[in-house]
Structure formats: structure tokens, C-alpha cells
Structure 1
Amino acid sequence: MESLVSSWTKELDGRAATATLRQQQGTRNKVDFCSNDYLGLARNDAFQARLLAVAQQEPAALTGASGSRIIRGHADAVAEVEQHIAYTHGNASALLVGSGYLANLALFSCLLKRGDSILLDEKIHRSVHDGCKLSMATKWKFRHNDLTHLESCLRKAKGRVLVAVESLYSMDGDFAPLEDIITLANRYGAAVIVDEAHAAGVFGCGVVHQKGLQEQVLATVVTYGKAFGLAGAAILGSKLLTDYLLNFSAPLIYTTGLPIYHATAIRTAYGFLADNPSLALSLQNLLARFAQQGMKTTSAAVSPIQSVRFSDSTCLLAATAVMQQNGLDVYPIFPPTVAVGAERLRICMHTFNTPSEIDLLGKYIRAWQQ
């Protein structure tokens, strides 16, 4: 026990020495440029009023499901919300789960067997990698958005093959070339799974839905802890897929079902976004303002995630400190979240940010990027 504690202390001290020690962060009285609340729903008074009305109509829905969804923990009201989500996204079936992390564990842990292959974009979310650790399939990584390298991996892959990508990447703020990836995967008989955590809500029901690709992907994951201002996630796909997951996915089978209120709040969010299309338009107007600041970023102009690089880690830390001291809540990203040498500020834009706040952010970033 003593040696274990000593090793933990040494590792934590190492992170503290390099200013990369992670700590829990609450709400700070600064301008938010780091949360995933892209459309501002988590702080929207009108949305909160709708949620309160839902809770008041059925207080019993606030309590837990009290069991696994395959025993007694799946209410009819939750099933109705899943049907609504599936219909809204143009899919046959949907399964609600507690988080996007859990959704990816549920998917990647059980779909393939020993002798099969999972091909991951190197910048896909950590939850996908962790899901693969629970699988007996062989995991391969291909270079980010590199179709040539993906094809090389497809040629070598054994057994049944899955290709997994994000539609909008959480750290780089760029998009996957979904149509090209699907075409390439089809050529080699591989299936595609798309994580839409950062696209859903900002781009309607997500990029897969916008492009009409539902029938061409095996599964889509959408999450509700970002643009929807809530928590949880949905796995979208065929009825066969969801039936298989309910029978063979341990993260779904051996966990308590969602409370009714959790599901009805998600349905409420869909309705609120449908009634307020101006939110997504306002975000794009602010992103256009951000683009006018002359900062160096490799992210897509329409992405709410803007990846800002600096000359080195020392410069990144110094710039972050100055911005924090001047009331701008920004967050630096270090390894292992990103590769060594790829440290950056991950700037998140929101509908509640003002033009003057964006101008101030641009002023500080330009000063430190030079």
C-alpha cells in the first residue's frame, strides 16, 4: 500500500510541476469560452421554465428507474421518447443511455469478436478507445481524416471491420469527410459508426442527418450534455442493432435504466430547439465575428470549437494566465488529451458570448500568437 501511495504522489507531483495537474472546476465568474454549452440552453431561462413545468406535471418521474432496463427499469414514457428521437433523426431505433461515454462503451465493447478489426481515427474520443479495450477485436488507428492511410488499414484488417469517426472533432473543431469515408468503407465491406457529440444541436440533428446518411452508417451516437444543455446520450441505428445491444452489451445490461424525467427533459430540449432555430443562426453569426479577429486556427469556420495553437507550452500557459486574469475563462489542453506537441487553447463559442467579448478574446490571442 505504501509503494502504491508513493507512486501516485510522484505522478501527481509530476503533473503539478508542469502545470498540467487536472482539478475539478466549478462555475467561475468569468466569460465562458470553454464549456460545451454551445447554444446556451444550460443557462436559458425559457428552457429552464419548460423543464420545471414538465417536472411539476409529474413529480413521480423525478425518481430513479430502480432497476436495469431489461428487468423492470424501462418505463413506457422512456420508450416513447426513444421512438421520438429515432423518428426525429430518421432512424429505425434509438437507445437512451446515461452519457456519451457510456454509449461508446456499450457499442464498441460488444459488436465485434476476436479476429475482427476496429479502425479508429487517431483523434476520436477517449471513450471509443476505452470501449475497444472491452472488446476482443484488434484495434487499429489511422491518421486523422487521412483516406489513403485508412484504405491501407482496410486492406490489412482481418475479419469483420468497423470504422469509427467523429463528425465534428472535439479537440480540433474540424469535420470528417463522411461521404468519402463511407464510400471507402463500403468498398472493403466495412461498417461505419459516427460520434456526433459536438455536432448534434449545433447542426440540427447532426451531420449524418443533414447529409441523409442514416442508412449508410451502422450507428450514430448523439449526446445531450453539450448543445442540448442536459446530460445523457442516444445510440441510433436499426432495430436489429438495438436488439443486439440489449442482449450482448454489458454496459447497457448491467446498469440502472434512465429516470423518466431524464428522458422527457431530452424530448423537451428537442422541442425547444425546434421552436428556436435562431439559436443556431446566432451562433454562426458570432463565429463569423470570431473569424474576423485574424487569429490562427485550423478549425472549420462554422465549428463552435476553435483550436488555437501557440509557439510552445510556456507561451500557451502564459497566454491562458493573462486571459484568466482579465476575466476570460479559457482552458488549455495538454497531453494525454492531445498528442505531445499539439497543446492548444480549445476555445468554445456560445450564443451568449457578446461581440465585445469576442473582440477582447481576439486581442489577447493575437498578442500571444505573434
Structure 2
Amino acid sequence: MNQAENFLQQKLKERVDKGLLRKLTNLSLPIDFCSNDYLGFARSSTLNELIEEHIFNLKPHFNGSGGSRLLSGNHPYTEETEQFIADFHHAETGLIFNSGYDANIGLLSSIPQRGDTIITDELIHASLIDGARLSHAERYKFKHNDLIDLEQKLKVAKGIIYVVVESVYSMDGDLAPLQKISILCKLYNAHLIVDEAHATGVIGKKGKGLVVKLGLESDVFARIVTFGKAIGTHGAIILGSQSLRNYLINFARSFIYTTAAPLHNIVAINCAYQLLANGDETNQIIKKIDLYNHLINDLDLSIIPSKSAIQTILFSGSEKARNAAKNLQDNGFDVKAILSPTVQEGKERLRICLHTYNKDEEIINLVHHLKVLSKHE
């Protein structure tokens, strides 16, 4: 066995010994409380029909784009879609990337320079962390949603300062105190970057996100909106000024050096936004969230309060979280345990995602089973 193969097997064995080995599964359970399809767009027949209609009218000549946006992969429809989405979110303009990961990597690896400072909430997504690591800027983390700690980091920051947060955190489901963070950024001349991945479609009127809900559009340097969650498709867009868009086209490597998404995918994104703009799905998901929160308050479980579609039950240890998830899965609920290193050791959890298609009785039944679990904790 060569050294590289030995290294791979040793690292995998360490995961097995700790009970943390990740595996791909095809587990399909009848009641979805796991996926990020908050508004049901990924399974929507209405959206599917709208996409087919637009594809028929547009009649794209190719199955794929054939190259990057800077070569053969650009299309007027793509640019129209970018502006349509930017207008929806009250932004000047935007640039579509192939995924949220690509967007975050491209943004943070290209803009902050040597001598600048990136300050991130300790719970930001891995893609934001990786993007920051690829830059040559100084990096600091502040304690989650801790304004005092953030200000301490701002006081020692140098160069152009970027503060990076999520509006809704993907594992805790809680919201960032964006108004107060924005005030601090203004005080220290810092530039605020907000990932709205889990706020889009859920938070604010028509799901325009927390930034729009709070009226902070002009105070945010860049927003990242992803399409693979509530929008039910695939890809992401970075929203901001025309200068930001032009800069990313010229310097974001994850945009420049990748094949553009096929036009079929852009049509799906455009149609999903039409559905969001004209539908009532955001109000529907808010009702489901309110029902769950009303019911869960009576249980003796460790929870993180959340007004988002992401709800969390904390367990002290991987085995307890895994056993709780198996109990729910045995009863038909698709709920996953989130273990370290995805979350901090000792804060393993059940991550429960609510959807417009979850029937009220399914939510009531889920909480009933959680009540049973709480008695054995």
C-alpha cells in the first residue's frame, strides 16, 4: 500500500472509530423534515409547467452552454434574469454563479487584498470560510452574533475591512442582528457582506430577505442569494453595485474559469422567481413556522429559538442525536442528525426543516414524537 492510500484509510478509520463517518444514502422517507426545499418549489408541478412553457417559447438551440460566460456561455436571457432578480431584491445589479459555494469562494477570494481584514461570524458557512482562506487578507472570527466581540475585532482591523455574516444561520436557524451589525460597520468604516441563502423565500415580504425587510439595502456591500433552497433550482447570485459585478467578471476565478450553466437552468431560476413574486408561499411557510414554535414551546428539550424554516433540537453527544434521529426515521419522519465536525462537539443536534407542503397534522405528529423523546432525555 502506498503512502497516500495509507493516509486515506487512516483518516477514514479515525472517522469510523468516532462514529462520524459520512456516507451517501438513498433513504427516502414519506414525511420530509430534512430538505431545504422550504417553499416546495423543487417538487412544484406549477413551476415545472412554467419552465416547460418558457423553454418552448425560448427554444434554446443547445443542451449545454459550451463554455464559460466570457467565451460562448453568455446569453441575453441570463443577463435579463440577473437584473430581474436584482430588482426583486432591491439591488442595483447581480451576477449569477453556478452554486452558492462558487459565489462565496469567488467573492471572498478576489476582493479582500493583502493588508485588508476579513471579520467573520464564527458560524458562517464552510464556503465563506474557504473563500476567506483563499484571500491574502488578515482574518478574524467573532463569537456568534456577539456585537461586543465584533467591535473588539473592528478596533484592531486594518486596511479595507469586510464583515461577513449570514442573515439566517444554516445550522442554528437564528437570525443575525443585522441592524446593529450595520451600525458598527458604519462606525468603523467596514463593508458588510450578507449571505441570504436561508432567508431567501422565507424572511420578509415575498421572501426578499432580511436585508430588504430591515431596509438595509444601501448599507450592505454585497449579498449572496442561492437558488438551491427555497427557490428550488440550482445556482446563486451576488447582488451589489455595477462596479462589484464588473470586478467579479474580471477577477472572481470561480466565475471566470468554469463552464456557464445551461440556459435550461437559467430558465428554471427565472420561472421560480416569477412564482415567488406572484405567489403566497412565503406567507404559507410563516404559518408552518408559527405552528411549530407554538407547539414546541411546551417541550422539555434544548432548542435554539428560530423564526426561520430551520429548527434545532440540541443533544450532548453524537450517539444521543443519532438515536433520536433514528427513532423519528423509524416513524416515517425524514429528520437528520447533524454531528461534529459539521457542528461543534457537544452541540450535536436534530436539524428540522419546515416546508409549505408539511401538513399541519404532520407537524403536530412530529412534535408529539419529540415529546416522547424528551421524556427519555
Superposition deviation, residue 335 in structure 1: 1.4
Partner of 1:179: 179
2:235 pairs, out of 227, 232, 235, with 232
Residue identity matched to 2:137: A
Alpha-carbon distance between aligned partners in 1 of 2:357 and 2:106, rounded to the nearest angstrom: 34
Q: Check the 8 A contact 2:108/2:135 in 1, yes or no.
A: yes
Alpha-carbon distance between aligned partners in 1 of 2:61 and 2:332, rounded to the nearest angstrom: 40
Q: Check the 8 A contact 1:33/1:349 in 2, yes or no.
A: yes
Superposition deviation, residue 61 in structure 1: 5.7
After superposition, residues 3-152 of structure 1 pair within 5 angstroms as 3-26=3-26, 28-60=28-60, 63-152=63-152
Which of 221-230 and 353-362 deviates more?
Answer: 353-362
> How far does the alpha carbon of each residue in 1:139-184 deviate from its partner, in whole angstroms, 9 at most, with x for none?
1100000000000001111211100000000000000010110110
Alpha-carbon distance between aligned partners in 1 of 2:27 and 2:50, rounded to the nearest angstrom: 23
> How far does the alpha carbon of each residue in 1:35-84 deviate from its partner, in whole angstroms, 9 at most, with x for none?
00001111111111111222233342662221221233211111111111
SS in 1 for 2:287: helix
Aligned length: 369
SS in 2 for 1:106: helix
TM-score by length of 2: 0.94
Superposition deviation, residue 289 in structure 1: 2.0
Q: Check the 8 A contact 1:55/1:62 in 2, yes or no.
A: no
SS in 1 for 2:60: helix
SS in 2 for 1:140: strand
Partner of 1:275: 278
> How far does the alpha carbon of each residue in 1:307-361 deviate from its partner, in whole angstroms, 9 at most, with x for none?
1112433221211111111111111111121111111111101111112221222
Alpha-carbon distance between aligned partners in 2 of 1:190 and 1:3, rounded to the nearest angstrom: 46
> How far does the alpha carbon of each residue in 1:214-269 deviate from its partner, in whole angstroms, 9 at most, with x for none?
11110000011000110110000000111111111111111122322222221111
> How far does the alpha carbon of each residue in 1:95-120 deviate from its partner, in whole angstroms, 9 at most, with x for none?
01111111000100011111111000
Residue identity matched to 1:160: I
2:264 pairs, out of 257, 261, 264, with 261
1:339 pairs, out of 338, 344, 351, with 344
Give me the identity figure in percent.
Answer: 41
Partner of 2:323: 318
Partner of 1:208: 211
Q: Check the 8 A contact 1:61/1:261 in 2, yes or no.
A: no
Residue identity matched to 2:86: A
Q: Note closer, same or farther for the CA distance 1:297–1:215 as it changes in structure 2 (3 Å cut).
A: farther
Residue identity matched to 1:252: F
Partner of 1:247: 250
Partner of 1:284: 286
SS in 1 for 2:164: strand
Superposition deviation, residue 212 in structure 1: 1.8
Residue identity matched to 1:364: H
Alpha-carbon distance between aligned partners in 2 of 1:47 and 1:71, rounded to the nearest angstrom: 30
Residue identity matched to 2:220: V
Partner of 1:306: 311
Q: Check the 8 A contact 2:175/2:306 in 1, yes or no.
A: no
Gaps of 5+ in 2: none
Alpha-carbon distance between aligned partners in 2 of 1:3 and 1:367, rounded to the nearest angstrom: 49
SS in 2 for 1:123: coil
Gaps of 5+ in 1: none
Q: Is residue 357 of structure 2 the alignment partner of residue 352 of structure 1?
A: yes
